Every structure is written in C-alpha cells, then in structure tokens.
Structure 1
Amino acid sequence: MASLVRGVSSAFSGNRCLIRLLAPRIAGVGAILPQRLLHCEKYPQTTTLLSNMHQLHGWQYQILRQYFATAPLTIEFIRARVLLVVALYDKVDASKLTIDSHFINDLGLDSLDHVEVIMAMEDEFGFEIPDHDAEKLNRPADIVRYVADKEDVYE
C-alpha cells in the first residue's frame, strides 16, 4: 500500500495540471459508490444519496429535489380527527361526546385534562397552539374552527 501511494505521489509531483484535472473525478468516484456497497440490496427501502442523483453525461451529476404535498384537509376530516382524539382520551365518556360538548361542564374534565387534550391536538395536527388561544378552545367545535383557520380550510 505504501509503495502504491509513493508511486502515485511521484507520478503527480511533476504535473500539477494533471492533479487539478483528476482530483474532482477521483473525488466523484469516492462519492458515488456501487449500490451493493451501500447495502441497498439487503435493505431496498433504504434511501441513498444516489437515488436523488441523475447522471447528465460523463462525470457530471445533478441532484434533484423531491417535493410532496399532503392531501387537502376538509372541515369534515378535521371534525372527525378532533372527535377521535377527544374520544380516545381516557377520562372522556364517548357517549356524552358531541361536537358541541363543553370539556369542563359537559364532559367533566378539569383544567389539567383540558391542557392534555390541547396537547393531543397539537400532536395530531403538527403545530403548537399558544396558551392564550388554548384557553379559548373549550369545545371540539372551537378546536375544529381553530385548526381550519390555521390550515386555511374553508367550507
């Protein structure tokens, strides 16, 4: 190995132009390993750097960005998700739950339970609800309206 390194270094020592020409190509070969070395055969669901790279010509590669969009939300879908999250809360009686049920008066939740329901909604919809807004969300209908406003969903 040492003799190989000495041979390569002595070959390149006199010609700096050759180093400038070959260095990017050698670096490109190091970055683009065969798929079998990246364990893609064993784990086909593995996403590698190569899956986003497409060869233009020769040693030139282009990295493509991938964008995706989620399915558009509807009021009915938001309403169903809110009712499901509230119904799955262990202190809520599902028979008493309606879209207009008050968390404290009708369902018998205390303020800590109300905070936990709001936190579950944050997890469900993927955004944080500020405390001053959370205090106003006393019914599932209020949460549906808040999420619809936040996600720009209209009837």
Structure 2
Amino acid sequence: MSPQKKTISFELNGRPVTAEVATHHTLVELLQNEFDLFGARESCAQGLCGCCTVVVNGKPVSGCLYLAAFVDGAKVQTVEGLASDDKLDPVQEAFIEAGAFQCGFCTPGFVLMTKKLLDAHPSPDDDQIRHYLAGNLCRCAAYPEIVRAVKLAATKRKTVAA
C-alpha cells in the first residue's frame, strides 16, 4: 500500500509554492527533497537540538517533528530566505564576523533563533541570550562566539534601522 499524499500550497521564503507530500513526511524532508533547501537539518530527530529550526507563521518549529502537510496555507521561512538582494541579513553577517560556528551544522538554527530573539528583545543581555537559545545545541561548543554574534547582530540591526 502506498502512502497517502496531499497537495499543499504555502509561501516559502516570500514566494508561493505547491508540493505533493506524503502525509507522514516532515517539514525537513519536504524542504530538502522538493526545494533543495538544506539549512534545516535533522540531527536528533526528537526536536531537542535546534538544528532543524524553521519559522512557520512567525513561530520557530522543529522541522524534524513538524509534518509537512501542516504548512498548507502557511508562511515558511528558512535560513536561506534571510538574505535579500544578494546581501546577507545582519544576523548572518554577525555570525560570520564573530566566527560563531565551527562545523556549521547547528548554525542555521542558531541564526533563525537569534533573529527571533532580536525581534522580541533588540538589546538582549547575556542571560536573555542564553535562555532564548537554550533549545539550540552546538556540539563544537562555540557558545562564547555565538553570544558575541548575537550582540554584534543587535548592534548591526540598530545601525541598519537608523
């Protein structure tokens, strides 16, 4: 018996898309297999590490657990959708400038969560940063650089807004 399929339509990084998905496929599988977007990565398969973070209707979700069929009619943003006009988002720039990664596997999740953090708290202190990013794990332990990157991103965003 073949898996049941569903046709879904949604906004992906600002553009309308349609896909046919098996009802048991996750958002990460959809993004990788149908749209060649590999920023959200499955690592723990339990929604505990943050590597699979995707923003759906403005809220971060664990793409390894979130069923693809659930994004029907939604707005989905991935790390690939942050850059515009061939210019990186200030958060992406800050992570590069601060060297806030080693292997880079967890970086897309950290970048998306940092963007959400700065949307809610434009000038976070160290405790707010650590608390907000607690659901993201870096196996290389680049945490001091990540905190530096968040602070740098906050400064960059203020400069861009001014």
The TM-score with structure 2 as length reference comes to 0.23
Give the helix-richer structure, 1 or 2. 1
> Looking at CA atoms only, which structure, 1 or 2, has the larger radius of gyration?
1
Give the strand-richer structure, 1 or 2. 2
